[in-house]
Every structure is written in structure tokens, then in C-alpha cells.
Amino acid sequence: MIALVAVLAPWMLAAGFSLPLVDRLIFAPDRVMPKAPPGIEERTITTEDGVRLSAWHSPARPSERFAVAPTILWSHGNAGNIANRAPIQLALADRGVNVLAYDYRGYGRSDGRPTEDGVYLDARAAFDSLVAAGVPASRIVCFGESLGGAVSIELALARRCAGVAVVSTFTSIGDVAREHFGVLGILATGRFDSAARIGSLSVPLFQAHGDRDEVVPFELGERLHAAAPKPKRFLRVPGASHNDIFASEELLDAIAGFATKVAR
């Protein structure tokens, strides 16, 4: 069976047969959205292809830091929605940075259906909405966790920003798939290929990874970092897995500190 899949997979890819299936495996949206908690303002963003996105904005605290604080643009991982990240968003705001978190198309209250090209458009629209609201591009840090790291790296090549911060991200979806599914990973070849893009970054990079990550192996994070140009910093988070890494106060301090340092 494995040998058959290995033979047929390139033909399936060439025919486009696997793409909807791979999208269903990559994206795991949650449509259930509560009201935004205190300290977060709800926003709506429209992409260039007319898709309406839901976003949550939290101003830096204390409030007198709002006008001078850097802004973190958060592209989340493949599962859930922005509501799942609200405590972390507020914790970053408490560290003196503004945060705009948005839901990809098909997540939360955002319209549409997620695709790789679509989420790249979503990130660009979120970035452009900040600039339109008066935030200088030189004070925006593209931040992403897991799949969102790949989105943030692509965004930083499309829009000039202050820097890029990624957590628990990978070289490519294909590499992650091969770690878990062996030869079946060929179906994800070329998808969210950060390793092919990161060498073109022209802004500072902060990267963090838990050394017990069971979803995106630590070694993939190391490989991605090795491919990135300087200036760059890599933070190993001891004992952290894929879904508990933001429990690290050191990590939250480092993200906010990086944003403050690189924003101009």
C-alpha cells in the first residue's frame, strides 16, 4: 500500500486531486466565538478578494504606552481561533505592546474557506489595516505560532516590517507530514515552505521552540533557524511541548522585548 501511494502521489498532486484533502488536514478551524473579553476591541478587516475577517485588538498597557508601543500582528496556528489565544494576547499587552490578532478565512467569525494562498491574503489585509489606521510599518512585528510562523515569514517578504517573531514553527508542512506519516507526507510537498523563503528575510528574526514539541519536532525549528540570515536569535524553551509553550514567562518577555527593540 505504501509503495502504491508513493507511486501515485505525484500523479495525484499533478492532477490537483489531493489539494482539497490536504487543506482539510492542514486547517482545523473553530467557528465558535465568544464575545471579546475586557481589554480587547473587536475589528473587521476586508481582504483584497473581498473576504471579511474578524480581528481582536488589544492596546498596550498601561494605556499611556499605546501611542509609542510597537504592534504585534499575530497569525495563529492551524487550529482553533483567536479566542483561544486571548489570555496570551492580554499577557503580551500587559508587557507594553499592542497586539492585533486576526482569524483566517473560515475561522471564528471570518467568512470564506481557508487555503494557503487565502491565508497569505488574510495576513496582508491585516497588516494593511494597521497601516491604514496610522501604525507605521516600521513599528509592526509579524508574529506567528506554528503554521502562523510560515504565514508571518511570507508576510515579511510581501510587506516591509520591523521584524519577524515565530514560535513552534517548521521548515515546511511537508517536513512535518513526513515526520508523522512517512511517505504520505509527499502529498504536502511544497506547502507552507518557510525553508525556501526565510533566506530572503531582510529584517531581524526572533525564533523560539519547545524542546519537547511533539507536533513540530525541535530539530525542524533548528533547521529553519540555520537557514535564516542574521540578525537572528533562537530561544530554546526547556520542557515545552507544542501546546503549552506560551506558559513560559521567559518566552512572553522575550517576544515583547524583541518587538520593543526592533520597532523604530
Pairing verdict, β 232-237 and 205-210: parallel
Q: Which residues pair with 42 in a beta bridge?
A: 56
Domain limits at 42? 2-262
Look at the chain and report how many structural domains it folds into. 1
> Residues 46, 158, 101, 144: what is their CA dihedral angle, to the nearest 10 degrees?
150
**Are the C-beta atoms of residues 206 and 255 closer than 8 Å to each other?**
yes
The closest of 24, 83, 85, 91 to 54, measured between CA atoms, is 83
68-121: pLDDT as tens digits: 899 999 999 999 999 999 999 999 999 999 999 999 999 999 999 999 999 999
* Under-70 pLDDT residues of the chain: 1-20, 63-67
Which CATH number do you get for residue 252? 3.40.50.1820
Beta strands in the chain (DSSP E): 28-29, 41-46, 52-58, 71-75, 79-80, 98-102, 140-145, 163-167, 205-210, 232-237
Q: What local confidence, expressed as pLDDT, does residue 95 receive? A: 96
pLDDT value, residue 87? 97
Res 64: pLDDT: 61
Residues facing 54 on adjacent strands: 44
3-state secondary structure of 74: strand
Which pTM was predicted?
A: 0.91
